[in-house]
Amino acid sequence: MKTPPLAVNRYILTFIDEFSRKLWFYFLKEKLEAFSSFKIFKELVERQNGGGEFTSVHFLDFLNENRIQHKMTAKYTRQQNGVAEIENRTHIEEARSMLKAKNLNNCYWGSLLLVHVT
């Protein structure tokens, strides 16, 4: 969305299990929070299953140490993102639809997403 949200969190970090299509959402104030959110996500998934923001040295070292496969895509090529791009677009379109249905200002999109996906 081009309009900044009223909520403090400006970004949504999405993790998707490509096999089950299960989604996890993390709401971030800044993109720099992606690494710490990933570590929290990794611990959560390991407990459940027993077992710019993605390019910092610390992030890459952490992935290598934990033997986590990391795939980067070219900028502005949403077709390379597949499942993630479809999910992100779906949630943004749902928020736009809800805003229009209730005649709300676009600045509420972040709040709607937060309520919708949690």
Mean pLDDT of 54-83: 75
Say which residues have a Cβ less than 8 Å from residue 9's Cβ, sequence separation at least 6.
27, 28, 29, 110, 114
The amino acid at 48: Q
The answer as to whether 1 is a domain residue is no
Dihedral Cα 115, 106, 95, 11, nearest 10 deg: -70
Check if the beta carbon of residue 80 is closer than 8 Å to that of residue 74: yes
* Residue 2 included in any domain: no
> What pLDDT is attached to residue 51?
45
Q: 5 in a domain, yes or no?
A: no
pLDDT at 28 > cutoff 60: yes
Percent of the chain predicted with pLDDT > 70: 68
% of the chain exceeding 90 in pLDDT: 8
- pLDDT band, residue 29 (cuts 50/70/90): confident
For residue 30, which phi and psi values (nearest 5 degrees)? -135, 155
Report the CATH number at residue 96: 3.30.420.10
Residue 7 vs residue 11, higher pLDDT = 11
Q: How many domains does the chain have?
A: 1
Tell me which residue range forms the domain holding 16.
Answer: 11-117
Identify whether 58 is part of a domain: yes
Q: Is residue 48 predicted with pLDDT exceeding 80?
A: no
Question: pLDDT band for position 118 (50/70/90)?
Answer: very low
DSSP strands (E only) in 4-109: 11-16, 23-28
Q: How confident is the model at residue 74 (pLDDT cuts 50, 70, 90)?
A: low
On the question of pLDDT at 98 being above 70, the answer is yes
Structure-block tokens of residue 18: 């490509």
